[in-house]
């Protein structure tokens, strides 16, 4: 086999076999196939796409490039949730302790934020001392002790994704559904899961802005998960507006702490509860060896009542404290969030008019938050844990002229003016109360 022949085949619209795809990925990771040939292959994939079978083979080759967590010795069903990313999307920090409190095991490898989107690792890193660079042995200890961990990507697990992602960034091949699906699923399938719930976002702040494209990505990822023996379902959820009230790392962490104590913004509650119900349902399907069903209202309500019990009685919050301790963080800062980083400058944003908020563009809010210091433009940049935005009024709420409806938080006051302009550019206010927008657009189950 020669790499050049496989590149030509893909360039001409042909379909590669599993061994051919492994030859390219494995060869590159072992240093036998140069980066320029893998980059040319990625461009051919970008241009011509991949069949589901090729995408499954690519995902498998990426998983095989490193260690897979071996969770055979850990009791309980292993379930994770993955979101394709958005603005104010903090559900993982609520779901992982909640599901662990309910008896599931959640081994979660998460990412850092880039551009207008936030990352779970940055949010947790606002806890003083919290480590997200633990090795495989320590992760296993956390999982046994607290029932979950949330760690960053390690060198040992899936090195191919790290390499290919950097190459895609440099070769304008990021926006390819099969490459996105293989990248996300190879990370998740390295976690040794029994079940996976995907939260595929759609709307202005999402990776896939178009609803049909988001559904296509969701279906492809569900198919990949199931083909590798992991029970997988996807929710397609809205990211036209930020989720919840906080955007920015420590601010979002504080919102998660409040949620785990029972105080949720309505939209955050709806999406979190739906994801939690699906995690429990897939775990039941694994234990009972059944196929997941479309959840009817009564079953959904039963799951939600059970979930609420674990929040109300403090079990989920207690799990977060256990994990923070196990990952070397200062649990006092979670018990007393005033110890978390706070910004030196807080500026209210006044509503220009009376009326109802009809639009709060997630991309604009994420961009404004990034300007305040909460996000990074390049992967090697630092973020300011204290920076971000608190949204007092959300789409559908009434606002009064010259009255604050959000606050900007930063340690760099020179950024306030531009951030405020960007934030306001995403806001529309009208005299007519808008109808409530759907938050959960679809549920994709194995076909």
Give the binding site for ligand URA (CB under 6 A). Answer: 180, 183-184, 187, 207
Angstrom distance (rounded) from CA 376 to CA 365: 14
Least CB distance from residue 365 to ligand URA, whole Å?
20
Q: Of 184 and 241, which has the nearer Cβ to ligand URA?
A: 184
Choosing from 80, 89, 122, 161, the catalytic residue is 161
Q: Tokens for 3?
A: 């790499």
Angstrom distance (rounded) from CA 111 to CA 158: 13
Strands (E) across 110-267 are located at 148-151, 195-202, 231-238, 246-247
Choosing from 78, 105, 123, 187, the catalytic residue is 187
Least CB distance from residue 72 to ligand URA, whole Å?
26
Q: How many CA atoms lie within 13 A of 65 on its CB side?
A: 31
Burial class of residue 407, CB neighbours in 10 A (0-12, 13-18, 19+): middle
Least CB distance from residue 84 to ligand URA, whole Å?
6
Least CB distance from residue 140 to ligand URA, whole Å?
23
Angstrom distance (rounded) from CA 83 to CA 98: 17
Q: Of 59 and 183, which has the nearer Cβ to ligand URA?
A: 183
Is 168 a catalytic site residue? yes
Q: Of 207 and 218, which has the nearer Cβ to ligand URA?
A: 207
Q: Of 187 and 394, which has the nearer Cβ to ligand URA?
A: 187
Residue nearest to ligand URA (CB): 183
Q: Contact 306/283 with Cβ under 8 angstroms?
A: no
Choosing from 168, 201, 245, 367, the catalytic residue is 168
Burial class of residue 209, CB neighbours in 10 A (0-12, 13-18, 19+): middle
Q: Of 38 and 207, which has the nearer Cβ to ligand URA?
A: 207
Least CB distance from residue 158 to ligand URA, whole Å?
10
Choosing from 10, 78, 82, 281, the catalytic residue is 82
Choosing from 176, 183, 186, 369, the catalytic residue is 183
How far CA 51 is from CA of 18, 59, 77, 79, 270, in Å, comes to 11, 12, 31, 27, 35
φ, ψ of residue 49 in degrees (nearest 5): 75, -175
Q: Of 86 and 88, which has the nearer Cβ to ligand URA?
A: 86
Q: Contact 224/446 with Cβ under 8 angstroms?
A: no
Dihedral sign computed on CA atoms, order 165, 168, 173, 175: positive
End-to-end, the C-alpha distance of the chain in Å comes to 35
Angstrom distance (rounded) from CA 197 to CA 204: 22
Q: Tokens for 333?
A: 């800062």
Q: Of 183 and 202, which has the nearer Cβ to ligand URA?
A: 183
Pairing, β 79-83 against β 195-202: parallel
Pairing, β 106-109 against β 148-151: parallel
Is 187 a catalytic site residue? yes
Least CB distance from residue 184 to ligand URA, whole Å?
5
Is 183 a catalytic site residue? yes
User: DSSP class of residue 415?
Assistant: G
Least CB distance from residue 115 to ligand URA, whole Å?
11
Residues that are catalytic: 82, 161, 168, 183, 187
């Amino acid at each position: 086999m020669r790499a050049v022949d496989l590149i030509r085949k893909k360039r001409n619209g042909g379909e590669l076999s599993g061994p051919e795809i492994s030859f390219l990925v494995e060869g590159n990771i072992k240093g036998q196939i140069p980066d320029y040939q893998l980059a040319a292959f990625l461009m051919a994939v970008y241009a011509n796409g991949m069949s589901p079978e090729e995408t499954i083979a690519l995902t498998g080759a990426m998983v095989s490039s490193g260690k897979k967590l071996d969770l055979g010795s850990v009791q309980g069903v292993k379930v994770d949730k993955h979101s394709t990313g958005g603005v104010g999307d903090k559900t993982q920090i609520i779901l992982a302790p909640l599901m662990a409190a309910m008896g599931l095991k959640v081994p979660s490898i998460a990412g850092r934020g880039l551009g207008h989107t936030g990352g779970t690792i940055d949010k947790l890193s606002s806890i003083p001392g919290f480590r997200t660079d633990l090795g495989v042995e320590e992760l296993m200890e956390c999982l046994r002790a607290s029932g979950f961990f949330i760690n960053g990507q390690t060198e040992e697990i899936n090195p191919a994704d790290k390499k290919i992602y950097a190459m895609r960034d440099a070769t304008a091949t990021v926006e390819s559904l099969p490459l996105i699906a293989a990248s996300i699923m190879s990370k998740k399938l390295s976690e040794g899961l029994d079940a996976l719930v995907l939260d595929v976002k759609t709307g202005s702040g999402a990776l896939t802005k178009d609803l049909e494209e988001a559904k296509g990505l969701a279906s492809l990822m569900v198919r990949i998960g199931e083909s590798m023996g992991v029970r997988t379902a996807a929710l397609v959820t809205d990211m036209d507006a930020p989720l919840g009230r906080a955007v920015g790392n420590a601010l979002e962490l504080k919102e998660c702490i409040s949620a785990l104590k029972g105080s949720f913004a309505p939209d955050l509650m709806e999406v979190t509860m739906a994801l939690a119900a699906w995690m429990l349902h897939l775990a039941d399907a694994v234990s009972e060896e059944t196929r997941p069903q479309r959840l009817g209202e009564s079953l959904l309500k039963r799951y939600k009542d059970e979930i609420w019990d674990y929040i109300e009685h403090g079990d989920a919050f207690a799990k977060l404290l256990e994990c923070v301790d196990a990952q070397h963080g200062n649990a006092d800062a979670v018990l007393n969030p005033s110890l978390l980083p706070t910004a030196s400058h807080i500026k209210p944003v006044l509503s220009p008019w009376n009326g109802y908020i009809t639009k709060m563009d997630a991309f604009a809010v994420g961009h404004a938050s990034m300007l305040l210091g909460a996000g990074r433009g390049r992967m090697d940049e630092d973020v300011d844990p204290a920076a971000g935005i608190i949204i007092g009024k959300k789409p559908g709420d009434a606002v009064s002229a010259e009255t604050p409806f959000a606050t900007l938080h930063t340690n760099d006051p020179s950024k306030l003016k531009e951030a405020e302009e960007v934030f306001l550019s995403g806001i529309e206010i009208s005299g007519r109360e808008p109808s409530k927008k759907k938050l959960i657009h679809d549920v994709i189950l194995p076909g």
